[in-house]
Amino acid sequence: MQSVTIALFDKEFIQTGVFEKRFADALRRTFDLRPNCSVAPSEVTRQEAERLAALAEEFVARVEVYLRGKK
**pLDDT tens per residue across span 16-37:** 999 999 999 999 988 888 765 6
Residue 33 to residues 36, 44, 65: CA-CA distances in angstroms?
Answer: 5, 7, 28
pLDDT of residue 40: 62
Position 1 pLDDT exceeds 90: no
Q: What CA–CA distance (Å, rounded) separates 18 from 27?
A: 15
Mean per-residue pLDDT of the chain: 87
- Total domain count, the chain: 1
Closest C-alpha to 66, from 11, 14, 7, 4: 14
Looking at residue 41, what is its pLDDT? Answer: 60
d(CA 52, CA 54): 5
In which domain, by residue range, is 23 found?
Answer: 2-70
**70 or 50: whose pLDDT is higher?**
50
